[in-house]
Structures are given as C-alpha cells and as structure tokens.
Amino acid sequence: MKKNMFTDLFEDTSTKNSFFETYGYPTVVRPTCINYGCDKLVATDGKRWRPHCSHCQGASWGKHPHRAGVTPFKTGKCNNIDGHLGFKCFIDWKLVEQDHGRIKTHIDHKDGDHMNNTIENCEELCGLCHDEKSRRSGNFKGYRY
C-alpha cells in the first residue's frame, strides 16, 4: 500500500521529531485514541487526526469488535440533554430509544484543539448541538478541518 508523506512522517515518533527539528517546525505529538482503555496512537486520513486509532475506527463501523478492555467513548447520545451549553438538546432522546433508532453523534473538542483528545476536553454531542455550540462560541467555520 502506497503511503503519503504525512502518513510516513507520523508512523514513527523518532522520524517525525527529527523531520520537524531538521526543518525548524514545532514538534507535534500524535494523540492517543479517545476510547477508554485504548493506548494506541490515533489514525489519520492524510489531512487531520482521527479521534480513534485505526482498530477502534473499524470497530465503530462494525468491521470487528473492540479489543478486550476497550470501552467506546461514544455512547450514541448527546451529552447536552441537561442544557449545560446554555440551550437544551433539540432531540427527544426518549423517542429515539423507543424507535431503536441511532443518531450519529460528534466528538466536540471543548478547547477547539482537535489534537487534544483528553477525556476532559472531549464531549459527545448530536450534530445539531455541536453546530449550535460552535456558532454561539464563534468558532464555526462551516467545514471540518
């Protein structure tokens, strides 16, 4: 499988750091997977970091189960049901549960730094709450980076 320069650089920490030091860029630390009990480094699509490692990403798509001892961060529910963001979640989650439906949720990085995958910095929100929170805080760009 052919890899791009970004993937090659970030596979090995020693290569990554020596590259950045050689060319005068600040050192970038590749974050670890957001799932509880997983200590693997996150995957990349060549443009940005994913919040999960490649194995956990595949497990979230149903390709295979999570490794033993790993619990997914995402539960499939918005954490803003209590309205702690200044507005209540727009979705009636009781109806979603009754219909056995599943709504795709997002991982919001509270400080806006998508490389900071610490549990304290991440929160699971539905798409509506994530967009509204971003608009109200002024960091809505209209696209994903």
Report pLDDT for 40.
93
Within-domain flag for 13: no
| Predicted local distance difference test score (pLDDT) of residue 145 | 44
Measured from the Cβ of residue 72, the count of other Cβ atoms closer than 10 Å reads: 16
Q: Per-residue pLDDT tens for 16-33?
A: 455 556 665 556 678 889
Percentage of the chain exceeding pLDDT 70: 72
Residues sharing a CB contact under 8 Å with residue 139, sequence separation 6 or more, in sequence order: 112
What's the pLDDT band for 1 if we cut at 50, 70, 90? very low
Residue 124 lies in a domain: yes
Q: Is the pTM of the predicted complex or chain greater than 0.85?
A: no
Domain tally, the chain = 1
Is residue 128 in some structural domain?
yes
Residue 35 resides in a domain: no
Note whether residue 113 is domain-resident. Answer: yes
Length of the chain: 145
The pLDDT of residue 93 is 82
36 belongs to a structural domain: no
Name the residue range of residue 82's domain.
74-145
Q: What is the pLDDT of residues 75-124, one digit of tens each?
A: 888 999 999 999 999 888 888 776 566 778 899 988 877 778 888 889 99
Phi, psi of 15 (to 5 degrees): -65, -45
The tokens for 12 are 């090995």
User: For residue 44, is it within any domain?
Assistant: no
According to DSSP, residue 109 is labeled E
DSSP output for 81-100: GG-TTSS--SS-HHHHHHTT
Is residue 110 domain-resident? yes
